[in-house]
Structure 1
Amino acid sequence: MKEEIRLTEFSHGAGCGCKIAPQVLEDILKSESAIPSFSNLLVGNESRDDAAVYDLGNGTAVISTTDFFMPIVDDAFDFGRIASANAISDVYAMGGTPLMAVALLGWPVNDLPPSLAQQVLEGARAICAQAGIPLAGGHSIDTKEPMFGLAVTGTVKLEQLKKNNTAQEGDVLFLTKALGVGVLSTAQKRKVLQPEHQPQMIEQLAALNKIGEALGKIPGVHAMTDVTGFGLAGHLVELAGGSNLSADLYYGKIKQLEGVAGYISHRVVPDSTFRNWNSYSSKIGFGKGVNVMEAFSLLPDPQTNGGLLVAVSPGSAGEVAELLKSSGLEAFAEPIGVLTAAGEKVITVKA
């Protein structure tokens, strides 16, 4: 009988948990060289946003992004779907519309059969078709570990462009997906994931964040980002801190995937959770009544293709809630926090 190949056994990381820790990334991105100024570059490295944005001069801008990682699931087709949905999400997080994608494939050709790589690409084609864009080409290399992702190009009208550092005091926060895929994927890698918890994990990992395009059309949506490898806490630190604000985060309002709390209680947590926490823990405080041990494991949990974190004016909160409900996301139609004037901590986690 032919032995089943488990892709996660061929990689040291999983999904966006492969990301370099925030503090290490800060050191890597430092430069002592004079960086040329480009007046049409609306979003670049300076804001740690989800994608680069370049003004075309005709009222629209082009969005350019890339994302790739090592397997977070064992099935090759699902790996292709998940990596592709994650990459395309960066365009949606800017309020944009994706146009096309090209593939980035690293494959250990001496260890894994080409037929599995073909299935990865089939998964990518399926998600690109769902997004209404072509998988128009790509590049592949021989690597020690399997890796896959996309470079995606999109467009956005300038008035609909959403950044991650333009929130305003008083904005309420919505999150469009539950947390915990990092915990569940770690349980899978350790072979302790219960069968009933796998379908929800795969479904969320491969779900496109298409609602970002509609959210971009709402003027009261002031800022937006997708929650990925730095966890909800890390991306909220970027959004609030980048906007010179602080945030009250209501822990009890945050949705978790089924089973996550149980795995956390048994210390089934990704290694990158601790790296994330060490990078920004000094910016986070806890109020009374919060389960700090659970929050410590959940809020920095690296999400792959996580939900959109949206900062919305109070006057537009009802419109956003109705959009979420009409899009099948009624479970996420209640705010999880509010942005406040800058204080001692960037985030205060409340019960």
Structure 2
Amino acid sequence: MRALGHQFPEHEHPELLVGLSKADDAAVYRLNPDQAIVQTLDFFAPTVDDPFQFGQIAAANALNDVYAMGADVLFALNIAAFPDDLPVETIVAVLEGGASKVREAGGAVAGGHTIVDREPKYGLCVTGIAHPEAVLRKASAQPGDAILLTKPLGTGVLLNGMRGGEVPAAHEAIVIAQMSELNKRAAELARESPVHALTDVTGFGLAGHAVEVAMTSGVGVELSLGALPALPGLEAGVAQGLMTGGQANNRDYFSARVATARALTPLEDTLLYDPQTTGGLLIVLPESAAAELGARLQAAGIGNWRVGTVVASPDAESGGVRVTD
């Protein structure tokens, strides 16, 4: 599906600051010198059995793309598909779960659209706002920058294990809580620091999103395997043979731009390529500011890990990722 992005004609407009030609976490349209609309749409099939939790997770996943652009949430529209024989109570629970996250974000659900489909799907079209000059892109990383990650990795594999009853209840609760968590406070703290680039780690996995930062910024990215945080239960799940099709797809698509000095262990491969749901922010900022932001995030109860460094790319036209121990 990624190849489709190159098939659409580019739509040039003087006020469209971020669109198809500058792919990022959301589109940005300048309204006036002081305000820009930031808009994104995201939806997917159920990730968990509980309908309220599913609504929360899908909504948080969409809302976090606005935060990844350095914007504030204004309102959201539901986008949904449900079988016509699904109990009304289940549909209401999904929508209420989503609405609870929009309220937490400080926004409002202003409407939406629902169709009949055999497989349930739910998500949001989210509209946010930011100053045009304060929008944070993934394309502005600079050599010497530090890279922080604000959530541990492994939701894709653990979700697969949860579906098969192979994840302990305590670990399952941690996964669901993380996937329901907004990146709102983490983004607010990042905006108070001299951040050069920002994105969130979602379907492309850590390596895929690091490649995007490198390519769009014309730099290289070094990731330290020993620094990559794993969700509780991930190591055991990988040892049991758990993985996802998305992990294999990400590896196939991005590995040509990911250099490793040795063969990766199954756990290391998972940490790099496992697709994340509602993953953490990847914050790229000057080395001199990294420790202070890390401490402020920690004081706010937000975990964060120094996972890498931006380096100069030998080829200014393209970037890549180098993985170290």
Q: For this structure pair, what is the TM-score category when the shorter chain's length is used for normalisation? A: over 0.9
Deviation, structure 1 residue 315: 2.1
Task: Give matches, 1:271-286, under 5 Å.
Answer: 271-286=245-260
Is the counterpart of residue 339 in structure 1 residue 310 in structure 2? yes
| Structure-1 separation of matches of 2:153 and 2:261 | 20
The residue that corresponds to 1:85 in the other structure is 60
| Structure-1 separation of matches of 2:269 and 2:161 | 18
The residue that corresponds to 2:167 in the other structure is 193
Of residues 90, 94, 107, the one that matches 2:82 is 107
RMSD, aligned CA: 1.6
2:274 maps to a residue whose letter is D
C-alpha distance after superposition, 1:36-77 (max 9, x if no partner): 420111111223200000111232211011100011111000
| Structure-2 separation of matches of 1:260 and 1:293 | 11
Of residues 179, 202, 220, the one that matches 1:205 is 179
Say if 1:226 and 1:308, in contact at 8 Å, map to a contact too: yes
Deviation, structure 1 residue 115: 1.4
Instruction: Tell me the secondary structure at the aligned position of residue 273 of structure 2.
Output: coil
| Structure-2 separation of matches of 1:240 and 1:279 | 15
Say if 1:96 and 1:216, in contact at 8 Å, map to a contact too: no
The residue that corresponds to 1:320 in the other structure is 293
Question: Tell me, which stretches of 5 or more residues in structure 2 are unaligned?
Answer: none
Deviation, structure 1 residue 32: 7.3
Is the counterpart of residue 54 in structure 1 residue 25 in structure 2? no
Say if 1:160 and 1:217, in contact at 8 Å, map to a contact too: no
Question: Tell me, which stretches of 5 or more residues in structure 1 are unaligned?
Answer: 1-23
Aligned pair count reads 321
1:94 maps to a residue whose letter is M
C-alpha distance after superposition, 1:171-225 (max 9, x if no partner): 110000000111110001222122121110111000000121331232x200000
C-alpha distance after superposition, 1:239-272 (max 9, x if no partner): 1111111111011111110010111112111111
The residue that corresponds to 1:292 in the other structure is 265
Is the counterpart of residue 229 in structure 1 residue 217 in structure 2? no
| Structure-1 separation of matches of 2:231 and 2:38 | 31
| Structure-1 separation of matches of 2:108 and 2:242 | 38
| Structure-1 separation of matches of 2:259 and 2:11 | 38
The residue that corresponds to 1:130 in the other structure is 104
The residue that corresponds to 1:5 in the other structure is none
Say if 2:189 and 2:293, in contact at 8 Å, map to a contact too: no
Task: Give matches, 1:163-178, under 5 Å.
Answer: 163-178=137-152
| Structure-1 separation of matches of 2:11 and 2:102 | 34
| Structure-1 separation of matches of 2:201 and 2:229 | 14
Q: Please, what TM-score do these two structures have when normalized by structure 2?
A: 0.95
Instruction: State the 4+ residue runs in structure 1 displaced beyond 6 angstroms.
Output: none
Say if 2:38 and 2:129, in contact at 8 Å, map to a contact too: yes
Say if 1:80 and 1:121, in contact at 8 Å, map to a contact too: yes
| Structure-2 separation of matches of 1:335 and 1:51 | 25
Percentage of pairs with the same residue: 37
Is the counterpart of residue 29 in structure 1 residue 2 in structure 2? no
Say if 2:201 and 2:281, in contact at 8 Å, map to a contact too: yes
